[in-house]
Amino acid sequence: MAEFRVRVSTGKAFGAGTWNKVSVSIVGTQGESPRLPLDHLGKEFNAGAEEDFQVMLPEDVGPVLLLRVHKMPPALPCLPWPLAQDAWFCRWFQLTPPQGSPFLFPCYQWLEGAGSLVLREGTAKVSWADNHPLLQQQRQEELQARQEMYQWKAYNPGWPHCLDEKSVKDLDLNIKYSTAKNANFYLQGGSAFVEMKIKGLLDRKGPWRSLNEMKRIFHFRKTSAAEYTFQHWQEDAFFASQFLNGLNPVLIRCCHCLPKNFPVTDAMVASVLGPGTSLQAELEKGSLFLVDHGILSNMHTNVINGQPQFSAAPMTPLYQRPCGGPLLPLAIQLSQTPGPNSPIFLPSDDEWDWLLAKTWVRNAKFSFHEALTHLLHSHLLSEVFTLATLRQLPHCHRLFKSTGLGIGGFSELIQRSMKQLNYSALCLPVDIRARGVEDIPGCYYRDDGMQIWGAVERFVSEIIGVYYPSHESVQDDRELQAWVREIFSKGFLNRENSGIPSSLETREALVRYVTMVIFTCSARHSAVSAGQFDSCAWMPNLPPSMQLPPPTSKSQATPESFVDTLPPVNATCDVILALWLLSKEPGDRRPLGTYPDEHFIEEAPWSITTFQNRLAQISREIQERNRGLALPYTYLDPPVIENSISI
């Protein structure tokens, strides 16, 4: 008989403890022990507790391979259902044999109801490194169980596939919000809803009376960035700067040849270009940029309060003035088809004509951002990465109701974009070069994003170097290859022209791929999500819908027609409420580089501390730069970036 000491750590979160009974079976190379109860006088497994138990094995099972954990409700008659299902969050088990060093078995999972869970000792191993049949069998059984629990479905034709669940309520506890996070989210949303309701705005279906009246809602929990937007939203330089550092900094690209369907002339833009130059000269210098919303052409639109909404597909050339001057808009065409009913609007036009044209561009930016940059690229693709990870990598592996387009329009826009989506757009250094914005001044999304990408890439590279000594070791990891293959098939619908790999052949390819996944699910999401309320709190800066059609002639816009074009009062409030919630992290935060769960135990030549120190250095540099900016760019400051998409 051999006596082992078992140490158990229970999570600290609300509800992490349990009244259920827990036992373990020790699995070794020579057999498996019977169930060994972990029992003291009084209650065990309270939240935050670390407890020691002595267990006696009746016979030797050989070197330890696995730990099987069993959880059962107490043997009481007429046991209430909540007690029978009592969930427990276990952090880890530590098993100390009579002789030798202790084994740590990371868990970090909720165990709900009666059942068993098999844990491995915390040394990370890729599939080809497991040479014992029992360990190989455990990997296969874990993945089979996960693949049965987490299944795919096609939510909409042409969309990336997603988790096959009808409601958040049906999700497994391990992928739900924590109780505290969930409570904070609903408390924040409820208090904001009540505030809008008391002001009598949520039920008003008519248009705003004036821009001055809109100030009533602008004071709803405004931020310093929102205040700056309110003060500068009509300025051309601010309008242009939002394509560099606003919600959608991924669409602007250098223009070396104006589109044939945009017949702008030197005379039209002379007031912006200034003397001694021309469009052709600036095109050759690389100082002209283009924002093209052509993907929005002929979109189906929403109906709000019984009124059809309208959309446009504008083209907006921008000019980077020399000697560090501001980026400025040159002209705006609100459709992809030039002609007498599609005039080119200019900064020299009547004030309200030009402001209305810019506002149509902002509405297009809202639709593109919410459907594609935010929903598709950040959420739908990240769900693909997450679900494929749950289904293909075992624990021991190392690695819209009030918008102008509506749900139907968003779906159509996502289908269109999926046909164009490519790998390079998701890899920041490649995307920056492809769009030709490496040198445009004042692009803080690029500057900060490249630093974050570099820090993540180095961290990933060091880890890959430890576990994959050669290109062949990458090719031979069947779990890794299955993960990549599933992302290709379920996320990118087997589109070869997407450039997304369906397999990985080299360590360098693996480093880039994993860096892309981490960056997409953390920094990129922060850049396109955290500032939503800042940009939309003053609604004319980013209107979610437009109630009148795009103008087909000049000299028609007035202050009254401008306001009538904007979304109605209740739709404005719906969107601002939603974006305020989406911009507020509801507690229980884990910034990028924070890994409180100790899943792996081995020492390696890489260090999480090194990664964290690099992120801290980046943060200091960003904060120092921001002190000299009228509008600080904070969305890629590492403490602001969540480790993963959590809202």
Residues flagged as binding site for Fe cation: 374, 379, 525, 647
DSSP 3-state of 91: strand
Find all residues with CB under 8 Å of 94, minimum gap 6, and list them: 6, 7, 8, 9, 102, 103, 104, 105
Known binding-site positions: 15, 17, 39, 86-87, 374, 379, 525, 647
Cα distance between residue 631 and residue 237, in whole Å: 13
Instruction: Tell me how far apart the alpha carbons of residues 600 and 614 are, in angstroms, rounded to a whole number.
Output: 22
115 CB burial (10 A radius; 0-12, 13-18, 19+): exposed
Residue 515 in contact with residue 167, Cβ under 8 Å?
no
Asked whether 376 and 417 are in contact (CB, 8 A), the reply is: yes
Q: What is the 3-state secondary structure (H, E, C) of 318-365?
A: EEECCCCCCEEECCEECCCCCECCECEECCCCCHHHHHHHHHHHHHHH
Burial (Cβ within 10 Å: 0-12, 13-18, ≥19) of residue 582:
middle
What are the structure tokens assigned to 488, written together? 């290709």
According to DSSP, residue 540 is labeled G
The CA–CA distances, whole Å, from 630 to 228, 229, 244, 444, 625 equal: 8, 11, 15, 13, 11
Most distant CA pair in the chain: distance in Å? 95
- Which residue carries 């992809």 as its tokens? 336
> Under a CB-based contact definition with an 8 Å cutoff, are residues 521 and 644 in contact?
yes
Beta-carbon-side half-sphere exposure of residue 638 (alpha carbons within 13 Å) = 22
Which residues participate in the annotated binding site for Ca(2+)? 15, 17, 39, 86-87
Helix (H) / strand (E) element for 94: namely strand 88-96
- Spatial CB neighbours of 26, under 8 Å, sequence gap ≥ 6: 4, 32, 33, 36, 57, 61, 64, 67, 68, 95
| Torsion sign (Cα): 432, 438, 440, 442 | positive
291, 239 in Cβ contact below 8 A? no
**338 to 62, 259, 344, 387: CA distances (angstroms):** 80, 11, 8, 45
CB atoms within 10 A of CB 202: 18
Contact assessment for residue 83 and residue 30, using Cβ atoms and an 8 Å cutoff: no
- What distances in angstroms separate CA 563 from CA 50, 335, 493, 539, 567, one per listed residue? 62, 21, 43, 11, 8
How would DSSP label each residue in 563-631? HHHSPPHHHHHHHHHHHHHHTS--S---BTT---S-------S--HHHHHHHHHHHHHHHHHHHTT-SS
